[in-house]
Amino acid sequence: MNFEFDETERAILDNANAFLEKELRDDAGRYRDHMVPKEVMHALLKRLSPFGFLGTLIPEADGGSGLSFLMSIRLYEELFRVFPALAGTAFVNQMVGYGLYMDGTSEQKRRYLPGLLSGELIGCQAATEPETGSNPKDIRMRARRDGDGYRLNGRKIWISSGSIADFCMVLVRTDDKQTNRMIVDRAGFTARELETLGQRGWSTAELNFDDAWIPESQRMGGQGAGAQQTLRDFTVARCFAAIMGVGTAQAALDAAISYARQRHQWGKPIGQHQLIQEMVADMATELDCARLLAYRAAWMVQQGIRADTQASMAKYYASEAALRIASKAVQIHGALGLSRDLPIEGYFRDARMISIPDGTSQLQQLIIARNILGLAAFGDAKR
């Protein structure tokens, strides 16, 4: 396993980091607790695009950035550390682009991919429904045959980027009871923004499809394979979710280190008290474990090695570790850690979000154990 970057990659990372720190820090602070409006998000995505953030899952020949997956994960680690709302929206754009690249028709790719890669378009993907969360194979939303297209009715919930999306890649059940992914432009659904505990700069919405008609050409390839495609994409998505945990935790640890050096109690910096040192040591060790698990999963994906177990381990561990690390960062700040004047309590709220989407911690545990034991406690027994 090799996590080394060559000179060009290091230069890309340095450039991207300098840009994030110098150009986006202020915006990140402004939108820490307020949703980034659609037009602002488009402008931010367009500024990210030249650094390769938006096309990392697509080969260069097809318009992608040509960066390795591990490199992509490193870039997102920095972006999640600095600007979680922008990182989240860009991550969803990447996943929608990946889905289109893998299963879209050439017409769909021509129509949507360039806009996703440039920031001109914002996409979202919708599987979850009010009655169906952890098991996407159970979705109920219907797409009934109507002429040379489909009529869609149903509700999707907790959809990231939902209220600012220009189009949605939605998982539906067709008349033959099979699941399919379809692309619905913004005019085909309404969106209601949902308030959440953390990640408040990043849209999370309920989408309502009320008799929306779409032509057959908007159905994605792989007839009847919609749920399977959604599950396949989870390996990549879980690497991103893991790195979301790493970036969030790094921001919390950075703040804790800086505060522990500068805050004095009992005549010395609090960082010189052994129990604060214990917390810092635990935070740094857990963060490194999370980071290495995420890099390993990404490296395996990049090598074309099956990595569903490792992606689940990375997502499970990193999301839970991020919460522990962010909680200790609050503790080290004392009362200030609870104050809305500092971003620390925000890191804690953001970290709490990560163990739910892209498969809850319990689902990751079940996947890991199923793959090790060869015995499934849920769904079908297949890996």
The Cα–Cα gap between 225 and 248 comes to 34
Does position 134 bind ligand FAD by CB under 6 A? yes
Please give the single-letter amino acid code of residue 36: V
- Per CB under 6 A, contacts with ligand FAD among 330-369 are 353, 356-357, 360, 362-363, 366
Minimum Å gap between C-beta 192 and ligand FAD is: 14
Burial environment of residue 22 by CB neighbours within 10 A (0 to 12, 13 to 18, 19 or more): exposed
160 touches ligand FAD by CB under 6 A: yes
Q: Which residues, in sequence order, are bridge partners of residue 264? A: 269
Nearest distance from residue 171's CB to ligand FAD, in Å? Answer: 7
Shortest Å, Cβ 135 to ligand FAD: 7
Stretch that binds ligand FAD, among 31-39, 156-164, 243-251, 292-300 (CB under 6 A): 156-164
User: Which CB atom, from 12 or from 363, has the smaller least distance to ligand FAD?
Assistant: 363
Q: Give the Cα separation of 189 and 140 in Å (integer).
A: 17
User: Which of residues 105 and 365 has its CB atom nearest to ligand FAD in the complex?
Assistant: 365
Which residue's CB is nearer to ligand FAD, number 84 or number 337? 84
3-state helix, strand, coil in the chain (%, to 5): 60, 15, 25
* Candidate residues 45, 126, 183, 344; the one interacting with ligand FAD per rule CB under 6 A: 126
Q: How far apart are CA 218 and CA 107, in angstroms?
A: 9
Q: What is the CA radius of gyration of the chain?
A: 21
Please report whether residue 197 would count as binding ligand FAD according to CB under 6 A.
no
Tell me: does residue 158 bind ligand FAD (CB under 6 A): yes
Task: With CA atoms as reference, report the closest residue to 48 among 69, 70, 27.
Answer: 27
Which residue in the shown chain puts its C-beta closest to ligand FAD?
A: 133
Q: Minimum Å distance from CB 363 to ligand FAD?
A: 6
| HSE (side-chain half, CA atoms, 13 Å) at 350 | 34
Could you count the other beta carbons within 10 Å of the beta carbon of residue 268?
Answer: 9
Helix axes 84-103, 226-262, angle to 10 degrees: 160
Residues 6+ apart with CB under 8 A from 105: 217, 220, 221
Q: Could you say whether residue 125 binds ligand FAD (CB under 6 A)?
A: yes
Cβ closest to ligand FAD, residue 24 vs residue 356: 356
Q: Which is nearer to ligand FAD, 223 or 362 (CB)?
A: 362
Q: Does 204 bind ligand FAD (CB under 6 A)?
A: yes
Kindly tell me which residue out of 128, 163, 235, 248 binds ligand FAD, with binding defined by CB under 6 A: 128
Max Cα distance, the chain (Å): 79
Geometric angle at alpha carbon 110, from 155 and 165, rounded to 5°: 30
In the complex, minimum distance from the CB of residue 383 to ligand FAD, in angstroms, rounded to a whole number: 16
Q: Is 60 exposed, middle or buried (0-12, 13-18, 19+ CB in 10 A)?
A: exposed
- Nearer to ligand FAD by C-beta: 135 or 303? 135
Question: Which residue in 63, 133, 221, 269 binds ligand FAD (CB under 6 A)?
Answer: 133
Among 72, 51, 53, residue whose Cα is nearest residue 302: 72
Beta carbons within 8 Å of 258's beta carbon, 6+ residues apart: none
Q: Six-digit token pair at 162?
A: 């939902």
126 versus 227: smaller Cβ distance to ligand FAD: 126
Q: Which of 73, 79, 127, 326 binds ligand FAD (CB under 6 A)?
A: 127
Of 80 and 158, which CB lies nearer to ligand FAD in the complex structure?
A: 158
Torsion of CA 76, 79, 80, 82, to 10 degrees: 160
- Shortest Cβ distance from residue 36 to ligand FAD (Å)? 15
Tell me if 40 contacts ligand FAD by CB under 6 A.
Answer: no
d(CA 270, CA 329): 13
- The least distance separating ligand FAD from the CB of residue 160, rounded to whole angstroms, comes to 3
Q: Which is nearer to ligand FAD, 109 or 238 (CB)?
A: 238
* Cβ closest to ligand FAD, residue 325 vs residue 353: 353
210 by DSSP, 3-state: which?
strand
Give contact residues for ligand FAD (rule: CB under 6 A): 124-128, 133-134, 158-160, 196, 204, 353, 356-357, 360, 362-363, 366, 378
